[in-house]
Structure 1
Amino acid sequence: MSTFQALYGYAPPSIILYLSSCTSVALVDQQQKSRDALLATIKRNMQLARSRMNGFYDKKHTEREFEVDDWVYLKLQPYKQHSMHKNEFHKLSQRYYGSFQVIEKVRNVAYKLKLPTTARIHNVFHVSLLKKKLGNTVLVEPQLPRITDPENPKWEPMAMLEKRIFRKNSAATT
């Protein structure tokens, strides 16, 4: 349903091209020609915008497809997944974990992975979170990150190893 039809309750009227000299009134003839020129300009601009958007999409888009029994790496984002342990420094945390075996292709863009029995996350992932394992030289974190412990959610130091004194504006601070 078009927005016009949703708003007014009926389909928009169709606009047919104007054949020149169909009317004896010069003003009507001029308005119809300018309307046809405007419609042609709008269609051309819509086509240019569509092709520009397709170009931006195609520049970064890669088709990914995996087969059953393929090995893949899994991208987990702890700042988006609430069940994962939140690291203070997201930029320094691991990006990919694994490798894990593909068990089943659920849809064109969703795959079920064989996760360890200790994993407490769902085993179906979108294709954008998977990366195919190529070779054996890539170093990745083999274990999934731990789940946040509700009894001890914060890290605490066991002991202080060193102490320094910094001088700032002639005052000693530790």
Structure 2
Amino acid sequence: MIAPKKTYTLSEATKKLESYCAYQDRCHKEVQEKLRKMGMIPEAIDHVIGFLIQENYLNEERFARSFARGKFNIKKWGKNRIVNELKQRDISKFTIKAALEEITPEAYHTTLDTLAKKRLAEIREKDLQKCRKKLADYLLYRGWESSLVYEKIFELIPRS
């Protein structure tokens, strides 16, 4: 026998989402998804989201900035990957641009250099072309711009 799905009043849902947003910055899409899973109707979803924005529990720019900072500093993602992930969360181009300002050019190039050297030390391939390809694939997957990646590869593994 399947247990009936729990239903929430508007105030219960609001309280639950307040703590959900206070725990960690969230984007509008995540909050809408959470409310939909709770079985809330569209009017109630709009009301709760409006309240969360008004009370500053939900702030898309703050979310985007902390997301970009975190993914760059912790996961060492490049700008392409960060932009794609933010687009999947329906973040506006303006907000994405503001989020990328969190990453300084010096830190960006230093991180790429460190990441490329670390990965190159892990690659056990003797063929230089295959070695370059493995390094390029790794860095491109992590969202680094192809021009920077190939520039870095030919700096680290010069053409013979």
TM over 0.5: no
TM superposition score normalised by structure 2:
0.26
Bigger RCO (CA 8 Å, 6+ sep): 2
- Greater strand share, structure number: 1
TM superposition score normalised by structure 1:
0.25
- Greater helix share, structure number: 2
